[in-house]
Chains A and B, each alone.
Chain A
Amino acid sequence: MRLIAGIDVGNATTEVALADVSTTSAPRFLASASVPTTGIKGTVRNIPGIVDALRRATQSVEVQLSDISLALLNEATPVIGDIAMETITETLVTESTMIGHNPVSPGGIGLGVGRTMHIRDLVSATRADQVIVVIPREYDFEIVAQMLRRALEAGVPIQGGIVQGDDGVLIANRLGQPLPFVDEVAHIERVPLNMMAAVEVAPEGQTVRQLSNPYGIASLFGLSPQETTLVIPIAKALIGLRSAVVIRTPAGEVRTRRIPAGALTLIGERRTETVGLDLGAEAVMDVIAQVAPLRDVSGEPGTNVGGMIGRIRQTMGDLTEKPVEEIKIRDVLAVDCQVPQRVAGGVAQEFSLENAVGLAAMVNTDRLLMERVAQALMDEIHVPTELGGVEANMAILGALTTPGADAPLAVLDLGAGSSDAALLRRGEAVRTTHLAGAGNMVTLLINSELGLGDFEAAEEIKRYPLAKVESLFHIRNEDNTVRFYKEPLDPRLYGRVATIQGDRLVPIPGNHTMERIRQVRQEAKQKVFMRNALRALSAVAPAGNLRLIDFVVIVGGSGLDFELPQMLTRHLANYGVVVGSANVRGTEGPVNAVATGLVIHYFERKKAGLV
C-alpha cells in the first residue's frame, strides 16, 4: 500500500482526500476529512488545520499519520480577496425637528397640533393654548392621566403628547377622549419647549399619513412653497411609521447629505477609465467590463472610496508581506445596498435607510506563499510534501469523478473569498478565471442591510433556512409549511424568527420579519453569486459567449448552499446552460474536488512514468 494525501486549503475549509495509489487502474480512495481553515489561506497559520484534517482522515481508517508517503498541497488560487463598505448618504437632524419612530405601542389615535409644553407647566395653560404635552419618565401614568383630565375639564385644549416611558396606551386610555401619544422617546430632554408641533398616531395596522406627506406638513404649519421643499426629507423619513412627531423650530432642519464617495480609476491593459461611485454599482461594473482585463485600481484620495481601496491594499500588504505599492488589484465587484443608520441628532433613536456601496477586491499573490506552507507542513509532520497542481485544474479533475460528468465542462467554485471558474474542452488548455466577491461579500451585505452588527449572525442567515416560532409547540417554515414539536420550545424563542440549524433553532437578533430577512438574503446572493457566476463563466467561455458552454458543475462549499444551486440552475437555464452540483467520487457531494483531483493527478503522472 502506498498512501498519499491530497490537501486543499480553501478560504473557509481545509479538505483532505486519502488514497492508496499502489493500485493499477485507479487510485483507491480510503477517507476524506474537512475542517475549518486556520488562519488566512496561504499562510503558515494554515498548518494546525491541515494537521487536524490529516489526523481525522488517517484515524478513520486506523492508519498513522507517518504511514503517509506523500502529501500533495494545492497550488492555491493565486488570489485573495477583501471587502469594504461605506455609506454614501447621511441624514442629519438639527435642533430636533423630527421624531419618527415605531414604538411597539403608541397610545391613542389621531393627529394633534399645538405648542410643546412640559407637563409641570400645564397648570399655567389657558383655554387659548393648543398644547402638546411633553411627559418625562418620572411622571407616573396615573398622575399624568389625572393632570391631563383636570386640564381638559378646565378647558385647556390638549392635542396630544410626547412620552418618554412606555406609557402611551395607559395614558391615552385614561382620558375619556382619543388623543395621540407617541411614547418611548428616549431623549425627551431634547424636545424643544414652546414650539409648534404635530403628533400623529395611526390606527393599528396603518401608517402615518399627514406627517409623511410634505403638503400635509405644509398645511399643518402654514408653510410657504420654499419652506415646503425643506420638509421633504422629514416626510420621506416618516413614511411607513405608525407614529411620528414633527416640531417646527426656527432654525431646525433635516438634511440628507450626500457624502462625496469619490471616483474609482480602473487601469486596464489597454485603457484606463474613471467612474464616480455615486453613479451606482451598475455603472462601475459596466466600466470594469469595458476595461477588462484589469491591471490595477486606485481610489480618489481623500474620499470614501480612496479610504476603502487604501484599507484593502493595507490588509493585503500585511497578509502577503509585500510593500503596499506592489499590491495590484485585479478585480473589483461593486454592489449597491441600503443600510439602516441611526439619524444623527435624532431624539428617539430613529433610523434612516442610507445608500451604501460595498466593494470586494482581489489581488494576485505569488506561488512562494504555498511553497512556504508546504515546507512548514513537512517540518511539522515529517512527511514529504509538494505542490501537486494548480487548483482550478485539480478542481476539474475532481469534478469529472461526478457520475455522469464528462468533458467539455465548466467548473464553478463560488467560495468564501473569490468566485472561480474553469473550462475544460478536449484538446485545449484549461481556461481559468478568479473574480472578487463571494460568500463573505454576501454575509457583509446581509449584515449591513439588516443592521445586525454581528457577522456571525449574518453568516447563519446566509447558511440556514428560516422559520417563525408561532407557538411553543410549532414553527412555520419560510415556505409556509408547519412543523410541530412534542416538547415545548424555549420561551425565549417564542414569536421570534430563527434559523433552523439541524435540530436547533437559533433566534435572529432584531425585529425583522421572516419575509424581509428572506428577501435580503436572496437579494444578497443574487447580487454577488449570480453576477459573479455570469461574469466568471463568460470570462472562460469561448469568445466570451456563455451560450457556448453546455455543462456547468458547481464545486466547493457553495454547492452545499440550500438554495444557491437551484437559483443558479434556474437563472442559467436562460442561456441554455445545464447546471448541477458535483458529486465528487460519487460520494462526497460538491466538496473535496480539489483534494481528490490532486490524488488523481499524481496517479496519472505516476502511470505515465513522470514520478
Chain B
Amino acid sequence: MSVEPVYQREAVAESPAIHVVLAPGVDPRLFRWVEVGAEEEGVPCRLAQASAQGLAAAAYEAAQASRLGVGVGVGADRVLLHEAHMPVGQPVWAWPSNGAPAEVCRRAGCNAGRFVKRMPLRLEEAAVATAGQAPAAGTEIQDVWAPEAIIQAIARVLERRGLA
C-alpha cells in the first residue's frame, strides 16, 4: 500500500497563510470576507481553530500558528489583526464592526495581507474600495441576463446591512 510521505502532508498543512479565527457565535461566512480582502493583496488565507479564551488571545494563537506570523480574529463586535511578535494582549489593530461586519472583515483581510507584504497599513480610510452603493447594484443589474446574480446581490446587500 502506498503511504503519503510525511513531509508532503505537513507542507500542505503548513503552507504559509494568514490564519483567521472566528469567535463562537460569529457568522462563519465572515471568513470569506477576510479572505477576499487578503486575496486582493495576493496573500493566502486559511480558517483556523484556536483553543485560547478571549478574542485577542485567540487571534494571537492564530498568528503564532501562521507561518506568516499574522492572524485575524473576528469577534461579534470587533475584528483584530495580530502578529506573532506582539504581546498577547496587544493586537496590531482593532476595528469595531460598526454594524458592517463584512466590510470590516474585508478591510482587516486587506491589512493582514499588506502586513505580510510589509506595506503600510490602510487604517484611516472610510471604506474598502468596492463596498459599493447598494441601491445602484439593485437598479443596474436588472438589465442583465443572470437571475441568480441578482439573488446573490440582494443577499449580499442584506448581509451588509446585517439583516440576513
A494 near B120 (CB under 8 angstroms)? Answer: yes
Partner of B121, one of A139, A170, A492: A492
A120 near B144 (CB under 8 angstroms)? Answer: yes
Query: Any chain B CB within 8 A of the CB of A105?
Result: yes
Known: A165-B130, A473-B85. A491 touches B143 (CB 8 A): no
Query: Which residues of A from 152 to 177 have beta carbons under 8 Å from B?
Result: 165-170, 173
B133 near A138 (CB under 8 angstroms)? Answer: yes
B contact residues around A170 at 8 Å (CB): 36, 39-40
What's the Cα separation between A204 and B117 when bound, in Å? 13
B contact residues around A169 at 8 Å (CB): 39-42
Query: Any chain A CB within 8 A of the CB of B162?
Result: no
Known: A166-B130, A170-B40, A491-B123. A120 touches B140 (CB 8 A): yes
B149 near A147 (CB under 8 angstroms)? Answer: yes
Query: Which residues of B from 20 to 71 have beta carbons under 8 Å from A?
Result: 36, 39-42
A contact residues around B143 at 8 Å (CB): 120, 123
Query: Any chain B CB within 8 A of the CB of A219?
Result: no
Query: Any chain A CB within 8 A of the CB of B137?
Result: yes
Query: Any chain B CB within 8 A of the CB of A535?
Result: no
Query: Any chain A CB within 8 A of the CB of B19?
Result: no
What's the Cα separation between A50 and B41 when bound, in Å? 55
Known: A120-B143, A146-B149. A495 touches B130 (CB 8 A): no
Interface residues of B: mostly helix, strand, loop or mixed?
loop
What's the Cα separation between A426 and B86 when bound, in Å? 66
What's the Cα separation between A495 and B120 when bound, in Å? 4
Known: A138-B140, A140-B137. A105 touches B120 (CB 8 A): no
Query: Any chain B CB within 8 A of the CB of A143?
Result: yes
Query: Any chain A CB within 8 A of the CB of B129?
Result: yes
Interface residues of A: mostly helix, strand, loop or mixed?
loop
Known: A142-B152, A473-B85, A491-B93. A166 touches B40 (CB 8 A): yes
B146 near A150 (CB under 8 angstroms)? Answer: yes
Kindly report which residue of chain A lies nearest to residue B114, judged by CB atoms.
A495
Encode contact with A along B144-155: 1 for CB under 8 Å, 0 otherwise: 111011001100
B contact residues around A104 at 8 Å (CB): 41, 119
A137 near B149 (CB under 8 angstroms)? Answer: no
Partner of B132, one of A165, A204, A491: A165
Query: Any chain B CB within 8 A of the CB of A525?
Result: no
What's the Cα separation between A168 and B36 when bound, in Å? 12
Q: Could you list which residues of chain A lie within 8 angstroms of chain B, going by C-beta atoms?
A: 104-105, 120, 123, 136-143, 146-147, 150, 165-170, 173, 184, 204, 470-473, 488, 491-492, 494-496
CB pairs A–B below 8 angstroms (6 shown)? A123-B143, A137-B133, A138-B137, A142-B152, A167-B129, A169-B40
